[in-house]
Amino acid sequence: MPTTTTSAPALFSPEWAEAVRDAVDRGPSDELRAEKLPTYWEWIDEVRAGYDDSWALVDPDLPAEFGGGPAHLLLQWERGRCTRAAIVGPEEAAGATYVLRATHEAWRELLDGADAGRMLIYRRVRLERGDVLQFFRGVYFVVEALAALGRVPARLDEVGRLTGDRQAYQ
Amino acid sequence: MKAVLERGTVEGRPHAALTGGDGMVTRQETVQERVANSTLAQIRDVDIDDVLDYLHADLKKLPDYLDLYRRYLRQRWDVYELDFGQDAIDWRTRMSAEERTAFVAISSGFHHGERQVEVELPVFMLGGSEESKIYMSSQIEDEARHTIFFDRFYREVVALPGTSIQDVLDASYPHVSETFVGPFGLLAHQADELRRDPEDPAARVRYGTTYFLWIEGVLALSVMKITLSYCRTRKLLPAYYSGFTATCRDEARHVQGGMRILRDAVQSDPAMLHEIHETLRTILRMNGAVSRRLALESLGWTPEEVRRLMIRQLTMKLSDVGIDLPPDLREQIDRLQPELAGG
Ligand SMILES: [Fe+2]
Ligand SMILES: [Fe+2]
């Protein structure tokens, strides 16, 4: 299900960042939760309860009409709530607990409904900075947050829509 | 270390080397030789329990890399020699819908697991001794062959659509559990860490713990035991049985080589034990999340039996190579949840 429309906020705009904060903070709907066992969500709730880390999500080649790349979305978690989402510069992004990088093509795939977990497996989304073992202790929480981000409507380019062609993995 | 290596039993049965000079020794050794020397056609008569015994027997002496390489040259099998014709008939006419669903759910984690361990291994081969590099080249080829084995099974038996290997992987992905990204995403990112410095001893140990101890030594062997016992008991899927039993024999080399890597690393620097523990803490933490229920009962297993099987696979390897665990990790192991994938 493509989540790109011409009226949606542009990818890496402040409006989009706030919509992402709201979506990841709210978590999945009851309908989405029902697709997986309750124990999976309980695991995520437990990880999330004391979560204080921050994530910087990077698009190294955001098109020029959107401000150009690299672009960085910073998401700050405090005791399990996403308290801040901002488009920041490289220095602030580098200070995040985890820096995740995806090519612009991979961002398009994520917004086009690609499986967020599979994107991590194929390193289409790549942990560029941060402790790998600690990151994976919260991995399903991150995956579900990326999936929620992917569902937030965003304008990706001047055409305002995706081709619908899912890129082959790797 | 030596005392630790020689202690214990194999899969609950006395090991040949420990039984003394009676007739039992000869019989047991014959079984092990049969496992070691079977051709692909002969391996159809080999029991998975005997392959698991074979694997654990050598864990106690841990063959060196060139021994493993020589064994690879003798045991290499041709994945295109398998004829899946009868399997396709069994699949359509002798298995219930529930059995097929459970079988696909379990096998898909392996289909993707084989691809993953194949593509993440070359970076590990960039480091280590020259002997270990020679050996690793054989494991990379094994994993590629295992990937083809599942590709053929999914095309010719399950009848998934697709012209390329990626197409078939895409078609089986919906059957893969959401929690596959735990250990396999971890491996992908540990490989990425290794890419920056393939000789980093701590990064090699963390990678080796995920790959050789957990994915191969616990997850893969558990899936093998479950699906192969099912095929053997029900007399189903003969080509799958042959190919997957041969895969398990390959796995014996992989686990033995992998345990050697971990044991040698800890022996040369005891601080490496901490890296094994930290990796296991992450793996066991992730293992607590279960997103789908697997209908294991239709394959003749209860979740509790699978749990115990996994615990046993893990603790046997740890004790065989002399890796002690602190209390918090022992408690985490007691709470282990069934998780089925492999490579
Ligand atoms: Fe393997
Ligand atoms: Fe394999």
Q: Which residues of A63-99 are buried (b: 16+ CB within 10 A; e: fewer)?
A: beebeebebbbbbbbeebebeebebbeeeebeebbbb
Test the A interface: residue of B178, B209, B329 with most A CBs within 10 Å = B178
Q: What is the mean pLDDT of chain A?
A: 90
Q: How many A×B Cβ pairs under 8 Å?
A: 86
Token code pair at residue B305: 């039996």
B 113-142 → A contacts, CB under 8 A: 116, 119
Q: Mind listing the pLDDT tens digit of every residue in chain B (343 residues)?
A: 333 322 233 333 333 333 434 445 455 558 888 899 899 989 998 998 888 888 888 887 889 999 999 999 999 999 999 999 999 999 999 999 999 998 998 899 999 999 999 999 999 999 999 999 999 999 999 999 999 999 999 999 999 999 999 999 999 999 999 999 999 999 999 999 999 999 999 999 999 999 999 999 999 988 888 889 999 999 999 999 999 999 999 999 999 999 999 999 999 999 999 999 999 999 999 998 888 887 788 888 888 888 888 998 999 999 888 899 999 999 999 888 887 767 7
Please judge whether A127 and B166 are an interchain contact, meaning their C-beta atoms are less than 8 angstroms apart.
Answer: no
Our count of domains for chain A comes to 1
CA of B51 to the centre of ligand 1 (A): 14
Length of chain B (residues): 343
pLDDT at B303: 84
B108 lies within 8 A of chain A by CB: no
Strands A98-102 and A125-129: antiparallel
Taking alpha carbons only, the member of B224, B220, B226 closest to residue B245 is B224
Domain segments of chain B as ranges: 1-30, 38-334
Indicate if the pLDDT at residue A5 is higher than 60.
no
Q: Which residues of A touch B (CB under 8 A)?
A: 36-37, 39-40, 43-44, 115, 117-118, 120-123, 126-127, 132-137, 139-140, 143, 168-170
CA of B244 to the centre of ligand 2 (A): 9
C-beta separation of A124 from A59 below 8 A: no
Taking alpha carbons only, the member of B265, B237, B309, B218 closest to residue B83 is B237
Please judge whether B178 and A39 are an interchain contact, meaning their C-beta atoms are less than 8 angstroms apart.
Answer: no
Please judge whether B189 and A115 are an interchain contact, meaning their C-beta atoms are less than 8 angstroms apart.
Answer: no
Strands A81-88 and A71-78: antiparallel
Query: Does A135 fall in a domain?
Result: yes
Please judge whether B173 and A118 are an interchain contact, meaning their C-beta atoms are less than 8 angstroms apart.
Answer: yes
pLDDT at A93: 97
CA of B256 to the centre of ligand 2 (A): 13
Indicate if the pLDDT at residue A69 is higher than 70.
yes
C-beta separation of B173 from B105 below 8 A: no
Query: Does A5 fall in a domain?
Result: no
C-beta separation of B177 from A39 below 8 A: no
Strand segments, DSSP code E, in A89-136 are: 98-102, 125-129
pLDDT at B223: 86
A136-164 per-position pLDDT tens digit: 999 999 999 999 999 999 988 754 444 33
pLDDT at B3: 30
Query: Does A123 fall in a domain?
Result: yes
pLDDT at A71: 96
DSSP result, B140-151: HHHHHHHHHHHH
Instruction: Select the residue of A40, A132, A137 nearest B189 (Cβ to Cβ).
Output: A132
Which ranges of B162-215 would DSSP assign to H, the alpha helix?
165-172, 181-196, 201-208
Which ipTM value was assigned to this complex? 0.91
- Residue A136 maps to which CATH number? 3.30.1050.10
pLDDT at B58: 81
Q: How far apart, in Å, are the Cα atoms of A79 and each of A95, B67, B267?
A: 19, 53, 41
Query: Does A7 fall in a domain?
Result: no
Instruction: Select the residue of A40, A127, A136 nearest B291 (Cβ to Cβ).
Output: A40
Query: Does A167 fall in a domain?
Result: no
Query: Does A53 fall in a domain?
Result: yes
Verify cis geometry, omega within 30 degrees of 0, for the bond prior to A70: yes
Q: How far apart are CA B58 and CA B75, in angstroms?
A: 16
pLDDT at B297: 83
Please judge whether B186 and A43 are an interchain contact, meaning their C-beta atoms are less than 8 angstroms apart.
Answer: no
| Domain span holding position A101 | 14-150
Q: Which pTM value belongs to this model?
A: 0.90
Token code pair at residue B209: 């713990």
A7-59 per-position pLDDT tens digit: 789 999 999 999 999 999 999 999 999 999 999 999 999 999 999 999 999 99
Indicate if the pLDDT at residue A166 is higher than 70.
no
A142's CB contacts (< 8 A; 6+ apart) are A55, A98, A120, A135
C-beta separation of A27 from A151 below 8 A: no
Query: Does A156 fall in a domain?
Result: no
Please judge whether A121 and B185 are an interchain contact, meaning their C-beta atoms are less than 8 angstroms apart.
Answer: yes
Neighbours of ion ligand 1 (CB under 5 A): B 216, 254
Q: How far apart are CA A144 and CA B181, in angstroms?
A: 12
Q: What is the mean pLDDT of chain B?
A: 88
Q: What is the CATH number of domain B38-334?
A: 1.10.620.20
B173 lies within 8 A of chain A by CB: yes
**High-pLDDT (> 70) share of chain A, %:** 88
Q: How far apart are CA B305 and CA B317, in angstroms?
A: 19
